[in-house]
Structure 1
């Protein structure tokens, strides 16, 4: 008995829940599918019920003169009204939350199904041999066309079945009641299977997307520091430099190259674990210092690139270099100060036709000059528009 209870609790009930992993995606898919299905249902309603109204008005001998035709005419008009109501609500709730949209979908669907129960019940009161074709068609249409979470489907079909037992079943013989009970069960099974297959497909789809995103991340990021790798930095800067509207938005760009001074000595003296730790901490220091940068990357063993897609003044560049120097000086390995220092080259570029190779070469020259002047320094080059014969270069050194 305990095994049966556990199977029910952890097997069946578990399948009745939509995993939180895909709840939002399942909700979006529900709303999308149900929107389309209800449009199809409304089209069928309008074509069928207008034909029925025409039949009552023009092809019936008594027209609206008989009580029976008046009831049918009213029922047809009511269903058309429900179709129009859905189309109006769909437009009104276009920008509403997905949950609100889905709630309205279920409410309108429920009203349409109740209409079919009412019509079939009236048919049976009028003619006990008329059968349950109307209700059966609506039931299977609901199961195939309207998607809902398993728990909602179970509650929904159970409520409809109880309503059927109270209103329509007393008019049927035992065989018809059994057939309708089986039909309700089949409809519920179809609805649950539909929800399960959708959830399973969404789960696999999301996993594939996440795997692809992870692979893309691995292609773009340096595995040690989690900064952009050299190829990604180059592509990103080239894309920015090639943007036709860049000049109107920012007026220029700035590229920094940061190279750790005497990093090899740290590796040789303390070992590679310490060297890796210093690189990771340097990356964190760069993140904190250049928090407004458009891109941060590791472009060499101990060389880092920082890219701004807007102009900075020379004083701003120097202030950032000083802030970085303070961050690097605070790095410790096993409570021992590492005395990490860096040389920085920077290029402030307002030249609209500048390529990444040109920008990198100019910045690299400044980095080389900073190291030549004694390391722990920052050298800046301003790269402006070219004239016919020469490029204007202004240098500032600290």
Structure 2
């Protein structure tokens, strides 16, 4: 549609330039002016084509916000009117002088085929109907060679239009495939291939973006970071093998999706270490409940029908402190994770980084 709009602007500019010159030629450079019927017919034809071009420019602006189908129909209608105009002018030329030739129509056919992009069905309809009109009106005025040449021109114009449509369809399909491939590559860059969760780099970038806005944000804004580490994961790998270990990691990711359904981000930041991001500060009670919910869900993981008694330790940091970097937040959360492991594993410890630096940290474990 954009290509056709641009092409029609060029065509309209050519029409204005050429037909205004022709009008001036009739009015000022012809000895008879509008005194003869012939000049009046040509003058009327030139004015008619200028009117069609002006009509298109008005329609183009009026239909700017119209549905694409309406705009396409307007484009094709104007295109067909231009083709019929050239056919009518060439017919009159031939009635006046059988040796005038078909240059006017030939130029219009090839020009529209090259410049106007249209669906194959429309191209076929346009050129077939145009050819039938030509056979009915113009063919009796031409000799055998002229009819053959113009027939070939119609066929070539149709072939050019169909080739253009096919080329653009292939190009658009390739562009769509490139966009889909880029989207998949972008997804692969951001996701952990085993679990489908965010990878470590993406988790860090996302958290940094939230933290960067903390200093300008209101007191109630902030984020919450969970770090969960599987307890005795190495023993699972040693006892059941790495396929079982991978199964546990995948099941842990699924358990996290169920335990944190409204989290802003879930990620795998290490071998058996996972992160959960909330783009708001949770209460200590909420953080405790969510952490314990994950611990309970992991206890249901099985391998080949046997329960594995998987446990994890969870460290949580609720941050509303400005000028806090992700490294600082991660270190504080990791400290809570270490504390959970030190106090018996399968536990959740929470720390709250307050807005003002002078306020003490609040810690709780369950």
| TM, length-normalised to structure 1 | 0.84
The match for 2:85 is: 115
Whether the 8 Å contact between 1:246 and 1:252 is mirrored in structure 2 is no
The match for 2:51 is: 81
1:259 is aligned, of 221, 229, 236, to 229
Moved more, 32-41 or 91-100: 91-100
Whether the 8 Å contact between 1:385 and 1:392 is mirrored in structure 2 is no
C-alpha offsets along residues 250-277 of structure 1, whole Å, 9 cap, x if unaligned? 7111111111222233323332222211
The match for 2:31 is: 61
The match for 2:63 is: 93
Judged with a 3 Å threshold, the aligned counterparts in structure 2 of structure 1 residues 244 and 269 are, in CA distance, closer, same or farther, namely closer
| Secondary structure of 1:301 counterpart | coil
C-alpha offsets along residues 315-365 of structure 1, whole Å, 9 cap, x if unaligned? 222232243334333333333333333221111111221111011111111
The match for 2:361 is: 393
| TM, length-normalised to structure 2 | 0.91
Structure of greater Rg: 2
Shift of 1:37: 0.7
C-alpha offsets along residues 185-234 of structure 1, whole Å, 9 cap, x if unaligned? 22122222222332333333333333333333322221100111112221
1:208 is aligned, of 141, 166, 178, to 178
Question: Distance in 2 between the 1:200 and 1:330 partners?
Answer: 51
C-alpha offsets along residues 13-33 of structure 1, whole Å, 9 cap, x if unaligned? xxxxxxxxxxxxxxxxxx121
Whether the 8 Å contact between 2:295 and 2:313 is mirrored in structure 1 is no
2:196 is aligned, of 217, 221, 226, to 226
- CA RMSD of superposed structures (Å): 2.4
Question: Distance in 1 between the 2:160 and 2:187 partners?
Answer: 40
| Equivalent residues in 2 for 1:1-398, closer than 5 Å | 31-243=1-213, 247=217, 251-387=221-357, 390=358, 392-398=360-366
Question: Distance in 1 between the 2:30 and 2:219 partners?
Answer: 73
Moved more, 236-245 or 269-278: 236-245
Question: Distance in 1 between the 2:216 and 2:224 partners?
Answer: 13
The number of aligned residues is 366
Question: Distance in 1 between the 2:163 and 2:219 partners?
Answer: 53
Residue ranges of structure 2 left out of the alignment (5+ in a row) = none
| Secondary structure of 1:195 counterpart | helix
Structure 1 segments of 4 or more deviating over 4 A?
Answer: 243-246
Judged with a 3 Å threshold, the aligned counterparts in structure 2 of structure 1 residues 323 and 42 are, in CA distance, closer, same or farther, namely farther
Judged with a 3 Å threshold, the aligned counterparts in structure 2 of structure 1 residues 189 and 249 are, in CA distance, closer, same or farther, namely farther
